[in-house]
Amino acid sequence: MSSIVSDEAPKDEFSWPPLESNPDVLTNYLRSIGLPSQFSIGEIFGFDEDLLAFVPQPVLGIIVCHERLISKSDYRPRDVGSSDNYDAVSFYMHQSGTLDNACGIIACLHAVFNAPNIDLDPESVLGRYRLDTAKSSPGERCVALESNAEFRRIHAMHASMGQSEAITGDQSKVRHHYVAYVLDVRGEDLVELDGTKDGPVIVGRCDGDLLRGSIREVMGKLERGEISESLSMMTLNLSQE
């Protein structure tokens, strides 16, 4: 029997409220559900090499919060994603309307579950969810998260934290979307993971440099006018505490 704690998932997208793009909030959230304390979320303060030198290494995942300026119909064919790319990563999940505002935690799940050498406690919320959905399809993983009452309760608690006022009940105020960038299972290609797309997007060769490969991709989106300059980039990395 599945160990997922579940009930009937509410259909209101604000049952999973938006998260602030705040490294401390995301770190506390992830640790509360089972991320080992030696890992944390950090902030990228700029793209200059002088600033990148301060980014803790190794970088295990990239989380980007940005404002999209184009609709899905305007995506380049490569950027739609494909189910053919599922095997490029260890974990990918879709994002439903109910999880419309849960893109922050979905991006975090994509980063954590595709990172090498993170051993999760199988009794933690993260560990149970990963084990229970190990053989599930991306759509089934979405449904499992929707109906996980314990996960939803913890999410709502952390969505009320941070420096900005929490957004509740007004979808027009939700302007930003989270995605994750990870290395493929070979550790060579950069992959964009966005649960609203058809599947993983194989960005291309980055020779294992996840940080700079992700920055190049984000800068390309900025130059093409696909996203606004209102964005933040964060890393999943070993904690410096």
The identity of residue 35, as a single letter, is L
Q: CATH no. for residue 60?
A: 3.40.532.10
In the predicted structure, residue 1 carries a pLDDT above the cut 80: no
E-only strand ranges, 3-149: 39-44, 59-68
Q: How many CB atoms lie within 10 A of CB 176?
A: 20
Which residue matches tokens 């189910």?
Answer: 83
- Catalytically active residues are 103, 177
* Average pLDDT for the chain: 88
Q: Is residue 2 part of a domain?
A: no
What is the average pLDDT across 91-101? 89
> C-alpha angle 164/167/173, rounded to 5°?
105
pLDDT confidence of residue 129:
98
**Residue 181: which domain range?**
13-238
In the predicted structure, residue 167 carries a pLDDT above the cut 50: no
Which residue matches tokens 């944390």?
Answer: 40
Cα–Cα distance list, 95 to 27, 40, 103, 178 (Å): 22, 24, 7, 11
Residue 13 — very low, low, confident or very high, per pLDDT cuts 50/70/90? low
User: What phi and psi, each to the nearest 5 degrees, are found at residue 97?
Assistant: -60, -40
Sign of torsion over alpha carbons 199, 204, 209, 211: negative
Q: Is residue 234 part of a domain?
A: yes
Q: Is residue 210 part of a domain?
A: yes
**The two structure tokens encoding residue 39:** 């890992």
Q: Is residue 4 part of a domain?
A: no
Contacts of 158 (CB under 8 A, 6+ apart): 19, 25, 28, 29, 32
> C-alpha angle 94/215/203, rounded to 5°?
50
In the predicted structure, residue 16 carries a pLDDT above the cut 50: yes
Number of domains in the chain: 1
CB 179, CB 81: distance < 8 Å = no
Q: Is residue 88 part of a domain?
A: yes
Q: Is residue 225 part of a domain?
A: yes
When comparing pLDDT for 165 and 150, which is higher? 150
pLDDT confidence of residue 240:
76
